[in-house]
Amino acid sequence: MPDNDPLLETFKHTAYQVSGHGRRQVHILKDAMAEEDGKRDADIYGQGQIIEDFQDKIADYLGKESAVFFPSGTMAQQIALRIWCDRKSLNKVAYHPLCHLEIHEENGLKELHHIEPILLADKDRLIELADVVDMPDQVAVLLLELPQREIGGQLPDFGTLEAISAFCRTNGIKLHLDGARLFEVLPYYQKTAAEVCALFDSVYVSFYKGIGAIAGAMLAGPKDFIAEAKVWKRRHGGDLISLYPYILTADHFFDQRVGKMAQYYADAQTLAALFNGCHGVWTEPLIPVSNMFHVHFDFPKETVQSLLEDLYRTTGIGLTGTLREQGRNECSFEVSVGDQYQNIPQEKLSQMFELLNSRLPLLP
């Protein structure tokens, strides 16, 4: 979206915004460095105490034997799937039609690793046990994303996860977790990260989404698997001479925010209820299962954009800087609740939704 988009520009100048932790500015590195005495050595090509300590810390949190830090989740997940496919001499993986690897990575898995994806389930629903049992092809590995972002952050119930995991293990299929937002779903499951990850052979987590670091990801699993992943990381150019700016912010904000996920989850439910109380507005899911959800307007994008711009100027509260056209008479946007939500005065938030609800029935 161009920087001069009117909605985005108006949104940027609001005093309060309902999503995230704030604008991605360089101060987050300064915040993380504030606790440093400057005496620790930088990591060098994937080695050194600063990276190894963090890898051990996250491996322990996830309940896995070992872990390796990557500059990107795209790199981490392609490598994970490549390893499992090589071990079975079977270049087929299964995942959801709206999986990140399928729609956001320019066919990297196919072009770089010559791996064929098998798409499970309809694009507008979650993968169920029956989809896995009835797979038309043999696959080396199944990838599950928790939550499924492109359909509003929906989640299967934990019993379904257990059943899928048991089926995969019985049938020699590796199970990989796209846990880009794993931390955010733990309050819903009422499970520890280790309890969820125990169902999976390998796990990827992100540090720039709910955690809010600069960038970076962790891939965790058995020791021999991670040893092989480190070789592939070098082959992909992932061993920068130093990754410590990413690691320092990931470690700092992990400690700050992983314990706040229950608050973000509760705030998301409160916020979703406000949207669902408005004429012609609904959320997916209706009741969020994490800190994220999608908001749908049953009105044309141009009409909603004009209304939001006016409300932003009137109330000083920004709901979104982008709208996605879903059809001729529908548009949507994504919400991911973070630190910013708690900073919004309740009376201002109430005013925003009262005005929104009063104006929506008047739209053409």
Q: Domain total for the chain?
A: 2
Asked if residue 33 belongs to a domain, the reply is no
Mean of pLDDT values over 108-114:
97
Tell me the pLDDT tens digit for each residue of 136-145.
Answer: 899 999 999 9
* Residue 86 token pair: 């090589």
CB 6 within 8 A of CB 305: yes
H/E element, 335? strand 330-336
120 and 226 both lie in a single domain: yes
Q: Is residue 38 part of a domain?
A: no
Strands (E), 56-133: 66-70, 92-95, 116-119
3-class DSSP state of 188: helix
Q: Note whether 222 and 184 are within 8 A (CB).
A: no
Residue 184 contacts residue 21 (beta carbons within 8 Å): no
**Contact assessment for residue 148 and residue 120, using Cβ atoms and an 8 Å cutoff:** no
Are residue 201 and residue 293 in the same domain, yes or no?
A: no
Residue 81 belongs to domain spanning: 43-241
Per-residue pLDDT, averaged over 74-95, amounts to 98
244-248 contacts at long range (C-beta below 8 A, 24 or more positions apart): 244/42, 244/43, 244/50, 244/51, 245/29, 245/214, 246/69, 246/71, 246/207, 246/213, 246/214, 246/215, 246/216, 247/43, 247/50, 247/51, 247/54, 247/69, 247/216, 248/29, 248/32, 248/33, 248/36, 248/50
Decide if 254 is inside a domain. no
Across the range 76-90, mean pLDDT stands at: 98
pLDDT in the model for residue 153: 97
Q: How confident is the model at residue 1 (pLDDT cuts 50, 70, 90)?
A: very low
- Quick one: 292 and 355 in the same domain? yes
Together in a domain, 197 and 275 = no
The answer as to whether 156 is a domain residue is yes
Q: 206 near 292, Cβ under 8 Å?
A: no
Domain termination residue (choose one: 241, 276, 291): 241
Per-residue pLDDT at 26 exceeds 90: no
Q: Is 192 found in the same domain as 51?
A: yes
Q: Are residues 221 and 314 in the same domain?
A: no
Q: Are residues 18 and 47 in the same domain?
A: no
User: Tens digit of pLDDT for each residue in 151-192?
Assistant: 999 999 999 999 999 999 999 999 999 999 999 999 999 999
Residues 136 and 101 in one domain: yes
Assign 221 to helix, strand or coil. strand
In a domain, 1, yes or no: no
Residue 252 within a domain:
no
Compute the C-alpha angle 6/11/14, nearest 5°.
Answer: 135
Do residue 75 and residue 180 come from a single domain?
Answer: yes
Counting residues of the chain whose pLDDT is more than 70, the rounded percentage is 99
Calpha distance 308→144 (Å, rounded): 35
Does 70 fall in a domain? yes
Give the tens place of pLDDT for each residue, 285-340: 999 999 999 999 999 999 999 999 999 999 999 999 999 999 889 999 999 999 99
pLDDT band at 3 (very low <50, low <70, confident <90, very high): low
The b/e string for 149-167 (b: 16+ C-beta within 10 A; e otherwise) is bbbbbbbbeeebbebbbee
The span from the CA of 248 to the CA of 263, in Å, is 24
CB-count burial class (<10 Å; 0-12, 13-18, 19+) for 279: middle
The mean predicted confidence, pLDDT, of the chain is: 96
* Domain co-membership, 96 together with 214: yes
Query: Identity (one letter) of the amino acid at 46?
Result: G
| Percent of the chain scoring above 90 in pLDDT | 92
- Phi/psi region, residue 127 (left: phi>0; alpha: psi -120 to 50; beta: rest), is beta
Which residue is associated with the tokens 């470690």?
A: 251
- Note the pLDDT tens digit of each residue in 189-248: 999 999 999 999 999 999 999 999 999 999 999 999 999 999 999 999 999 999 999 999
How far, in Å, are 9, 84, 143, 330 from residue 98 at the CA level? 30, 21, 12, 20
CATH of the domain at 13: 3.90.1150.10
- Does residue 25 carry a pLDDT above 80? no
b/e map of 114-137 (b: 16 or more CB within 10 Å)? ebebeebbeeeebbebebbeeeee
The angle at the Cα of 69, spanning 66 to 75, to the nearest 5 degrees, equals 110
36 lies in some domain:
no
109 and 208 housed in the same domain: yes
Residue 183's domain is classified under what CATH number? 3.40.640.10
Other C-beta atoms within 10 Å of 168: how many?
22
Closest CA to 73 of 175, 202, 201: 202
Both 293 and 206 in one domain: the answer is no
Question: DSSP character for 36?
Answer: -
Q: Cα–Cα distance between 321 and 7 in angstroms, integer? A: 6
**pLDDT tens per residue, range 38-48:** 778 999 999 99
